[in-house]
Amino acid sequence: MTRAQTKASRRNFLKTSAWVATTIGLPTIVPASVMGLENKPAPSNRIAMGFIGTGGKGQHNMRGFLGFNDCQVTSVCDVEQGRMQTAKAAVDKHYNNADCRVFNDFREIATLGDLDAICVSTPDHWHALASVAALNAGKDVYCEKPLANSVAEGRAICRAAALNDRIVQTGSHERSGAGRRHACELVRNGRIGNLHTIRINLPTTDAHHLDVKKWQQPQPEMPVPEGLDWDMWLGHTPNAPYTEKRCHFWWRFILAYGGGEMTDRGAHVIDLAQLAAGKDHTGPVECIANGTANASGIFDAYMDYVFVNIYDDGLKMIGATKGPRGVKFEGDEGWIFIHVHGQKVEASDPRILESKIGNREIQLGRSPGHHRDFADCVKSRKDTMATAEIGHRTGTICHLNNISMKLRRPIQWDPVNEVVINDDEANALLGPAMREPWSI
Q: What pLDDT digit, counting tens, does each position of 94-113 carry?
A: 999 999 999 999 999 999 99
| Residues 169, 204 within the same domain | no
Q: Mean pLDDT, to the nearest integer, of 40-68?
A: 92
Indicate whether 343 belongs to any domain: yes
- The 10 Å Cβ neighbour count of residue 172 is 26
Could you tell me which residues come within 8 angstroms of residue 23 by beta carbon, excluding any fewer than 6 positions away?
none
DSSP state string for 70-113:
TEEEEEEE-SBHHHHHHHHHHHHHHHTSS--EEESSHHHHHT-T
Please check whether residues 235 and 359 belong to one and the same domain: yes
The packing angle between helices 151-163 and 388-407, to 10°, is: 160
Q: Both 103 and 220 in a single domain?
A: no
- Residue 384 falls within a domain, yes or no? no
Note whether 92 and 102 are within 8 A (CB): no
Across 252-315, the runs of DSSP E, i.e. the strands, are 286-292, 304-310
Model confidence at 40, pLDDT cuts 50, 70, 90, reads low
Which CATH number characterizes residue 241's domain?
Answer: 3.30.360.10
User: Residue 125: inside a domain, yes or no?
Assistant: yes
Q: What integer pLDDT is reported at residue 115 of this predicted model?
A: 98
Q: Which of 174, 193, 215 is the last residue of a domain?
A: 174
Question: What gap in Å lies between CA 348 and CA 353, rounded to an integer?
Answer: 9
Number of independent structural domains in the chain: 2
Residues paired with residue 287 on neighbouring β-strands, in sequence order: 309, 411
Same domain (yes/no): 205, 156: no
Distances, alpha carbon 44 to alpha carbons 5, 8, 69, 137, 365, in Å: 11, 8, 12, 19, 30
Cα dist. 188→41, 54, 91, 283, 329 in Å?
Answer: 39, 38, 42, 17, 10
- Closest-CA residue to 280 (of 124, 388, 401): 388
Reported as a pLDDT band with limits 50, 70 and 90, residue 45 is confident
Residue 199 near residue 330, CB atoms below 8 Å: yes
Task: Report DSSP state, residue 280.
Answer: T
Beta-carbon count within 10 A of 247 CB: 20
Domain that holds residue 157: 3-174
Residues 44 and 169 grouped into a single domain:
yes
**Domain of residue 10, CATH code:** 3.40.50.720
Closest CA to 192 of 276, 272, 281: 276
- Taking the CA atoms of the chain, what radius of gyration do you get in angstroms? 22
Structural domain ending residue among the three candidates 174, 192, 207: 174
The per-residue pLDDT for range 337-363, each reduced to its tens digit, is: 999 988 799 999 999 999 999 999 999
Distance of alpha carbon 214 from alpha carbon 122, whole angstroms: 26
Q: Is residue 119 part of a domain?
A: yes
Interior angle at CA 295, CA 289 and CA 299, nearest 5 = 80
Q: Are 14 and 114 in the same domain?
A: yes
- The residues, any chain, with a CB within 8 Å of residue 5's CB and separated by 6 or more, are none
Q: Would you tell me how many other CB atoms lie within 10 Å of the CB of residue 192?
A: 21
pLDDT the model gives residue 43: 67
Examine the domain organization and report whether 245 and 264 are in the same domain: yes
Pair (345, 285) in one structural domain: yes
Is 378 within a domain? no
Residue 33 has pLDDT above 60, yes or no: no
Lowest mean pLDDT among 3-7, 42-46, 204-208, 305-309: 3-7
Contact 93, 63 (CB under 8 A): no
In a domain, 324, yes or no: yes
Q: Which one, of 205, 300, 315, lies nearest residue 254 by Cα?
A: 300
First-to-last alpha carbon distance for the chain, in angstroms, is 35
Amino acid at 154: G
Confidence grade of residue 229 (pLDDT, cut at 50, 70, 90): very high
Mean pLDDT, the chain, as a whole number? 92
The Cα 28–Cα 211 span in angstroms is 55
- pLDDT value at position 409? 98
196 preceded by cis ω (within 30°)? no
pLDDT digits (tens, 9 = 90+) for 356-409: 999 999 999 999 999 999 999 999 999 999 999 999 999 999 999 999 999 999
Query: Can you give the pTM of this predicted structure?
Result: 0.90
pLDDT tens per residue, range 181-193: 999 999 999 999 9
Looking at 143, 174, 205, the residue that finishes a domain is 174
Residue pair 317/401 in contact (Cβ under 8 Å)? The answer is no
One domain, residues 85 and 181: no
Task: Verify that 199 and 330 share a domain, yes or no.
Answer: yes
CA pair distance 415, 419, nearest whole angstrom: 7
Residue 136, helix vs strand vs coil? helix
Same domain? For 260 and 314 the reply is yes
What is the SS3 assignment for 168? strand
Q: Are strands 334-339 and 345-347 parallel, antiparallel or unpaired?
A: antiparallel
For residues 279 and 340, membership in a common domain is answered with yes
Cβ atoms of 128 and 157 within 8 Å: the answer is yes
Q: Identify each DSSP E strand in 144-216 by its residue range.
A: 168-170, 195-201
Q: Is residue 341 part of a domain?
A: yes
Amino acid letter for position 71: C
Asked if the structure places residue 96 within a domain, the reply is: yes
